[in-house]
Structure 1
Amino acid sequence: MSEGFHFNTQYHLVELLGSKARNPAELLEGIKTVPASCIYYHTHRFLQQHHYLSPEPPNDFAFWLTDFLHLRSLGEEFLSVDTVLYCNLEDLRKTFQDILEDYLSKDGKNVDCLPGYEFHFLACKTFVLPMPYTANNLREFAEILRKISIRSLYFHIFEARMRLGVPDNDFSQWLRSIGEDKLADEISRLDPYNMTLENLRRKIIRMVEDRARD
């Protein structure tokens, strides 16, 4: 018999790494050497902090390049990176590294930002805490999804893939374990980066409830 789905939540402790960049070359050196948790922080924090706003948020690298160095084309290259395709932070790091190396090799402007507007590299430690909820079937799963915090939803959708390097979100993995492969595939195909987390919650609940009624 398959185990029920145990819901967790998370809290992040942000760390200042003591490293900063004034220009694209220094940004490249930082991206090469910072811990993977730094890459994660600068590409995913916006999703959780601004979960009621419109989708398609910028990553911090793109924002800094565009708004503080005024390198719009380079910033757009960073913004165009589809992070949903990555389940490995090192692959994402390499993509950013390649963009900057290509830019600098073509004599791209290595302009400095104004004093006080440097890019400060931050990272985060994640603390995972169990919640008092376990779902043993689809109806219970949908009911609990209505109750959990945004932090919990975020953890199960994003953390498993990007921080733990597994190929799918926690919900879809559990659904496959109970024989709900079609529903698992449908949830896996959702683009969580292209909608608010509240909209994502509603969409998953609707899909699960529709399946539970069949």
Structure 2
Amino acid sequence: MNKPFFFKSEFWIPQYTGIKVYSIKEFIEALKTVDKFSIFYHLYINIFNYHNLPTFYNNSFSYGLYKNGHLLLAEKLSVIDPLEYCDLEELRNVLVQTLEENYNPTEDKSGQEAFYFIKAEREIIEGVDVANNLDEFLEGIKKSSINSVFYHLVTSRIENKTLINDYSAWLTNLGEVKKAEKINKLDVYVMNLYEIKNNIIKILEEKE
């Protein structure tokens, strides 16, 4: 028998870590030791806010580098997709390695804007809705907030140490493999979370 799906939500408060840097060298060293939920904030929370940001970069690390004229480094970090990782420490190592491999010390300039490392204080909220079958799951999605969609679709991967989102994992166990695959392929960079939610509902309502 398939386990019930428990709907959850997620809230976070941005907090300054006390770390600010002015050079790429300082940036790399800070990145090695900063709280892992600073990496979470600058990469994952920006997925939530991406469509409201005045930039074509999908994370604030890249945008900060871009503002200081480090275009190559900005591009290198912008192509790192956090959804391809389920471990923040692994993601930290990839970021550091990418910067170290492409960093040219002669490009560090004086008078650059400071970059402030922010971290996310998170709280996971247990919801009241539970789904035992596809119909209940569909109704739960319809009632879900955007924060809940974000948690189950994006950041649950970190909680569960898996590259498959909560929705798709549960649907696969239910035997709804095609629906699970379609949801897992939804692009959070092309669509905002309201559009993502509507697409999930359409996928669940499809008759196969």
Which residue in the other structure is 2:183 paired with? 187
Aligned equivalents of 2:144 and 2:98: distance in 1?
A: 38
Using the size of structure 1 for normalisation, the TM-score is 0.87
Which residue of 2 is the match for residue 95 of structure 1? 94
Moved over 3 A (4+): 49-57
Q: Offset at 1:50? A: 5.1
State the one-letter code of the partner of 1:110.
D
- TM-score of the superposition, structure 2-length normalised? 0.89
1:146-185 to 2 correspondences below 5 Å = 146-185=142-181
> Which of 137, 141, 149 matches 1:141?
137
Deviation at 1:205, TM superposition (A): 0.9
What is the DSSP-based 3-state SS (H/G/I as helix, E as strand, rest coil) of the residue aligned with 2:172?
Answer: helix
Q: Is 1:124 equivalent to 2:120 in the alignment?
A: yes
The answer as to whether partners of 1:56 and 1:193 remain within 8 angstroms in 2 is no
Contact 1:38 1:124 in 2 (8 A): yes
Aligned-pair CA distance for 1:155: 0.6
Structure 1 residues 55 and 160: alpha-carbon distance in aligned structure 2, compared to 1, 3 A threshold: farther
Relative to 1, partners in 2 of residues 1:23 and 1:5: Cα closer, same or farther, differing over 3 Å? same
Is contact 2:57–2:63 with CA below 8 Å preserved after alignment?
A: no
Does structure 1 conserve the Cα–Cα contact (< 8 Å) formed by 2:47 and 2:58?
no
Q: Distance in 2 between matches of 1:83 and 1:194?
A: 15
**Equivalent in the alignment of 1:110:** 108
Aligned-partner Cα distance in 2 for 1:194–1:48? 12
Question: Is contact 1:2-1:177 (8 Å) kept?
Answer: yes
Q: Does 1:66 align with 2:66?
A: yes
CA contact (8 A) 1:18 1:121 kept: yes
- How far apart are the structure 2 equivalents of 1:53 and 1:78? 17
> Once superposed, what is the RMSD of the aligned Cα atoms?
2.2
Bigger drift between 117-126 and 186-195 goes to 186-195
Q: Could you tell me the percent identity over the aligned residues?
A: 30
| DSSP-derived class of the 1:2 partner | coil
**CA 1:154–1:136 in 2, change beyond 3 Å: closer, same or farther?**
same
* Paired residues of 2:47 and 2:188 also in contact (CA < 8 A): no
- Can you list the C-alpha shifts for 1:31-77, whole angstroms capped at 9, x where unaligned? 1111211111001222223556799652111101111x111222111
1:161: how far off?
A: 1.2
